[in-house]
């Protein structure tokens, strides 16, 4: 397998050619959103220029062409994830929307009741915390939390102790957006199934960085956002087991999610359309499929290898800085978070921005995790296929310069 060439890839990303404050842009905020290659930008523009129309309901040629492109995108996404059938792929606005869909549908079903329990982890993004809190408040269910160990991994022994016949759902992320921790989904899902609990995986930070095989993971739901994997914002995916999607009630009403409507009764459509009320983000779905094609043309294994080298090298550089704390285990994926004693992460991030570096500061929508470590936030560098070893080296030099200014 030949190595990935990030310099050739960068030619496909016009935004990376610009300067910030007269300095070359070094974009290291990919965990928040990745940049988009020309193939994805062209896909979006071509849709609006050539086949813009509403889908599924029109007999005219443009509507049929848009419908075919949209449903072909669903098939591309199903194949990328190794789903059993395209009908298991629901278009949403993003990971947050996907998780809220499941929470709302479960709350309307007979699968949850007062006294039942939902398990999440201490590593979760707020989007995989707040919807479950809201559901528990409404139904009288109880939220249980898997503790986080000092190395930023989950305490799976405590997880095993939390599981019981009352457990109806386990919802955890695949990769932590804050620390880059990769969770042991085999253990988590296998143990949950012993108690008949459903499993939902937040894949927002895993889908850009390594191969995701739904048959291997064997979860009930999997969610991710297009903008994390070189696709547009405002588009996301919820995978659900087909039999389970058939059982769950819809969470929003409107057009497309129905078979028949009268003022006396409505008959709902089959999955996935039962969960796709209204006009979808047609262009977004098509462009997301183009983004997955982009990734597959490169090879996700090449991307994983390349990004691992970058993170490992940055961790080695940072280990030489006095009073610097790295968070998470050594085997991080996608992102690396750190703090320097006596320096606020916001101040450091602001100075780095003046030098052309785009990093993320703050709690990363993980306030409970930050509280676990007694910090307000971190400075986070996160990577994509187009980042280079020279950018890592430049970040190390910029950090030294920034620290001289702040101390």
Q: Specify the pTM.
A: 0.96
Please report, rounded to a whole number, the percentage of residues in the chain having pLDDT higher than 70.
Answer: 99
Backbone angles phi, psi at 276, to 5 degrees: -125, 60
Which H or E run contains 171? strand 167-173
Rounded distance between C-alpha atoms, residue 139 and residue 112, angstroms = 8
For residue 260, pLDDT beyond 80: no
Query: What's the rounded mean pLDDT across residues 58-75?
Result: 95
**What integer pLDDT is reported at residue 258 of this predicted model?**
66
For residue 2, pLDDT beyond 70: no
Classify each residue of 167-191 as buried b or exposed e, where b means 16 or more C-beta atoms within 10 Å of its C-beta: bbbbbbbbbbbbbbbbbebeebbeb
Rounded distance between C-alpha atoms, residue 244 and residue 252, angstroms = 17
Rounded distance between C-alpha atoms, residue 198 and residue 341, angstroms = 42
For residue 373, pLDDT beyond 80: yes
For residue 13, pLDDT beyond 90: yes
Burial of 311 (0-12, 13-18, 19+ CB in 10 A): buried
Cβ 98 vs Cβ 128: under 8 Å: no
pLDDT confidence tier of residue 271, bands split at 50, 70 and 90: confident
Minimum mean pLDDT range among 81-90, 137-146, 200-209, 267-276: 267-276
DSSP classification of residue 157? H
For residue 148, pLDDT beyond 80: yes
DSSP classification of residue 387? -
Cβ 383 vs Cβ 311: under 8 Å: yes
Please report, rounded to a whole number, the percentage of residues in the chain having pLDDT higher than 90.
Answer: 91
CA distances from 71 to 65, 158, 318, 350 (A): 10, 43, 46, 44
Residue pLDDT, tens place only, 19-46: 999 999 999 999 999 999 999 999 999 9
Q: Which of 212, 209, 204 is nearest to 97 (CA)?
A: 204
Cβ 242 vs Cβ 272: under 8 Å: no
**What integer pLDDT is reported at residue 168 of this predicted model?**
98
What angle separates helix 95-108 from helix 130-139, to the nearest 10 degrees? 10
Would you tell me how many other CB atoms lie within 10 Å of the CB of residue 315? 16
Rounded distance between C-alpha atoms, residue 290 and residue 280, angstroms = 17
Rounded distance between C-alpha atoms, residue 269 and residue 38, angstroms = 36
**What integer pLDDT is reported at residue 153 of this predicted model?**
98
Would you tell me how many other CB atoms lie within 10 Å of the CB of residue 399? 23
DSSP letters of 214-266? HHHHT-SEEEEEGGGTTS-TT-EEEEE-HHHHHHSPPSS-SSSSEEEE-SS-E
What angle separates helix 300-318 from helix 282-298, to the nearest 10 degrees? 80
Residue pLDDT, tens place only, 97-109: 999 999 999 999 9
Cα 400 to chain center, whole Å?
Answer: 32
Catalytic residue (choose from 189, 246, 365, 366): 365
For residue 403, pLDDT beyond 60: yes
219 as an active site residue: the answer is no
For residue 339, pLDDT beyond 70: yes
- Domains in the chain, start-ordered, CATH in brackets? 6-28+299-406 (3.90.1150.10), 40-296 (3.40.640.10)
Which H or E run contains 194? helix 185-194
For residue 241, pLDDT beyond 70: yes
Residue pLDDT, tens place only, 213-236: 999 999 999 999 999 999 999 999
Minimum mean pLDDT range among 52-61, 224-233, 351-360, 390-399: 52-61
């Amino acid at each position: 397998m030949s190595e990935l060439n990030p310099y050739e890839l960068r030619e496909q990303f016009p935004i990376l050619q610009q300067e910030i404050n007269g300095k070359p842009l070094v974009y290291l905020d990919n965990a928040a959103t990745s940049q988009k290659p020309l193939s994805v930008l062209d896909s979006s523009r071509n849709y609006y220029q050539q086949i813009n129309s509403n889908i599924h309901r029109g007999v005219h040629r443009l509507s049929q062409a848009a419908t075919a492109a949209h449903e072909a995108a669903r098939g591309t996404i199903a194949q990328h994830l190794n789903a059993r059938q395209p009908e298991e792929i629901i278009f949403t606005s993003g990971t947050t929307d996907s998780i809220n869909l499941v929470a709302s549908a479960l709350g309307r079903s007979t699968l949850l009741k007062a006294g039942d329990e939902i398990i999440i982890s201490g590593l979760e993004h707020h989007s995989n915390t707040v919807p479950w809190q809201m559901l528990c408040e409404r139904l009288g269910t109880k939220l249980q939390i898997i503790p986080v160990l000092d190395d930023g991994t989950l305490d799976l022994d405590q997880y095993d102790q939390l599981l019981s016949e009352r457990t109806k759902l386990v919802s955890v992320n695949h990769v932590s957006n804050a620390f880059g921790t990769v969770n042991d989904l085999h253990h988590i899902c296998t143990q949950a199934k012993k108690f008949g609990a459903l499993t939902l995986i937040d894949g927002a930070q895993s889908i850009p960085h390594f191969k995701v095989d739904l048959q291997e993971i064997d979860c009930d739901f999997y969610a991710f956002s297009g903008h994390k994997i070189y696709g547009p914002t405002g588009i996301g995916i919820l995978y659900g087991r087909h039999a389970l999607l058939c059982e769950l009630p819809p969470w929003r009403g409107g057009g497309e999610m129905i078979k028949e409507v009268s003022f006396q009764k409505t008959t709902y459509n089959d999955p996935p359309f039962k969960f796709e009320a209204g006009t979808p983000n047609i262009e977004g779905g098509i462009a997301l499929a183009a983004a997955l094609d982009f990734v597959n043309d490169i090879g996700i294994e090449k991307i994983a290898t390349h990004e691992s080298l970058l993170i490992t090298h940055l961790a080695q550089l940072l280990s030489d800085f006095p009073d610097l704390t790295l968070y998470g285990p050594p085997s991080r994926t996608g992102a690396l978070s750190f703090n320097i004693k006596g320096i606020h992460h916001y101040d450091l991030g602001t100075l780095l921005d003046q030098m052309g570096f785009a990093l993320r500061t703050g709690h990363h929508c993980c306030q409970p995790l930050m509280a676990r470590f007694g910090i307000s936030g971190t400075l986070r560098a996160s990577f994509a296929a187009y980042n280079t070893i020279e950018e890592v080296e430049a970040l190390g030099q910029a950090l030294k310069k920034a620290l001289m200014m702040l101390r």
